[in-house]
Amino acid sequence: MNKQIQLYDLGNKDYKATWEYQEELFKGIVDLKIQNRKDETTLPTPNYFLFVEHPHVYTLGKSGDLSNLLLSGKQLEAKGATFYKINRGGDITYHGPGQIVGYPILDLENFFTDIHQYLRLLEEAIILTLAEYGLVCGRSEGETGVWLGVGTPFARKICAMGVRASRWVTMHGFALNVNVDLGYFDNIIPCGIRGKAVTSLNVELGVERVDEEEVKVKILHHFSQLFECSIIRPLDF
C-alpha cells in the first residue's frame, strides 16, 4: 500500500480547469488499477491532494436540485460568477476567494475501503483544525460537513463536503470558509438545507482576516495523522 500523498497547491484557479485536472489524475489512478488487475501486477497507485481557491462559482451535485440556485444566467454574469453541474455527491454550494478548497484524489485501497470512514475522517481533520482556533465544531446528523452550534437555533455550516468515488478512487472534497464574503451564499439554498446559516472562520473569530497558509498547514497536519500518511511536495511542480 502506498501511503504517500503528493501535494499540489494550485493557487487561484478556474473551476472547470481544476475539475479537468482532477479528472486527469483520477483517470490515471483508475487506469493503473485496471491494468494491474489485467496483468496481475501490483504497481503502486499514486495519491494526490490539491489545494485551490476558485473565482466565484456555484456547483451542483449530481443529485442536487437546480431550484436551489436562486439566480438566473444574467444575474450570475452580473455577479461575475459561473455555474457547473458536476459529478460529485451533495447539492449546491459556492466556491470563491477566501475559501480553502481541498481535493484529495486517493486510492482508498491504500488506506481502507470505507467511503463513510473517509468522509468522517475528512470532517475530523477540519474539526481538529478549527479546534486550534478555539472553535467547538461538530457534525449534524444526516448532513455531511462541519458545523458550529449543532442542536441549537444558531446552527451554521463552516465547511461543505462532496465527493465522488469509483473503484475506491476519490475526487472532489471539502470547502472551508476562512475569509469568505458570505453574501454569495444568499444566492443559493446552501447544500439544499433550509433554515440554517453559513459562516466563515474570520467571522467566528471576529477578525478581518485569518492567515490561510497557516490554516492549510494545520489541515495537512491533522489529515496526515488521521490517514497515517506522509505528504510530499513534488520538486518538479
Q: Report in angstroms the alpha-carbon separations of 94 from 22, 31, 182, 187, 228.
A: 18, 31, 10, 9, 30
With respect to residue 11, please indicate whether it lies within any of the assigned structural domains: yes
With respect to residue 129, please indicate whether it lies within any of the assigned structural domains: yes
Q: Give the chain's mean pLDDT.
A: 93
With respect to residue 227, please indicate whether it lies within any of the assigned structural domains: yes
* 88 marked ligand binding residue: yes
Q: Which cell is 98 given?
A: 477566501
**Residue 149 binned pLDDT confidence (cut-offs 50, 70, 90):** very high
Catalytic residue chosen out of the listed positions 137, 159, 191, 229? 191
* 92 marked ligand binding residue: yes
With respect to residue 237, please indicate whether it lies within any of the assigned structural domains: no
- How many domains in the chain? 1
Q: Kindly report, residue by residue over 168-204, the tens digit of the pLDDT.
A: 999 999 999 999 999 999 888 866 566 678 999 999 9
DSSP for 185-235 reads: GGGB-GGG-TT-EE--HHHHHT-S---HHHHHHHHHHHHHHHTT-EEE--T
Radius of gyration of the chain (CA): 18
**Residue 224 binned pLDDT confidence (cut-offs 50, 70, 90):** very high
Q: Which domain holds residue 151?
A: 4-232
Percent of the chain at pLDDT > 70 equals 96
With respect to residue 169, please indicate whether it lies within any of the assigned structural domains: yes
In sign, the C-alpha dihedral spanning 78, 99, 30, 27 is: positive
**Residue 141 binned pLDDT confidence (cut-offs 50, 70, 90):** confident
CATH number, domain with residue 39 = 3.30.930.10
* 96 marked ligand binding residue: no
**Residue 7 binned pLDDT confidence (cut-offs 50, 70, 90):** very high
Q: Among residues 226, 229, 149, which one has the least CA distance to residue 195? A: 149
With respect to residue 24, please indicate whether it lies within any of the assigned structural domains: yes
Q: Kindly report, residue by residue over 71-80, the tens digit of the pLDDT.
A: 888 999 898 9
Please give the angle made by the CA atoms of 6, 125 and 174, to the nearest 5 degrees: 70
Q: Kindly report, residue by residue over 16-58, the tens digit of the pLDDT.
A: 999 999 999 999 999 999 999 999 999 999 999 999 999 999 9
With respect to residue 91, please indicate whether it lies within any of the assigned structural domains: yes
With respect to residue 171, please indicate whether it lies within any of the assigned structural domains: yes
Work out the number of other CB atoms within 10 angstroms of the CB of residue 182: 16
Q: Report in angstroms the alpha-carbon separations of 211 from 83, 194, 196, 203, 223.
A: 28, 31, 27, 13, 19
Q: Is the pLDDT of residue 136 over 70?
A: yes
Quote the pLDDT of residue 91. Answer: 85
Quote the pLDDT of residue 191. Answer: 62
* 183 marked ligand binding residue: no
Contacts of 45 (CB under 8 A, 6+ apart): 2, 29, 32, 33, 36, 107, 109, 110, 169
The values of phi and psi at residue 170, to 5°, are -105, 160
DSSP alpha helices (H): ranges in the chain?
15-39, 73-78, 115-131, 201-205, 212-226
Establish whether 229 is a catalytic residue.
Answer: no
| Mean pLDDT value of segment 224-232 | 97
Q: Is the pLDDT of residue 237 over 80?
A: no
Quote the pLDDT of residue 210. Answer: 98
**Residue 143 binned pLDDT confidence (cut-offs 50, 70, 90):** confident
pTM > 0.85: yes or no: yes
Q: Which cell is 237 given?
A: 511542480
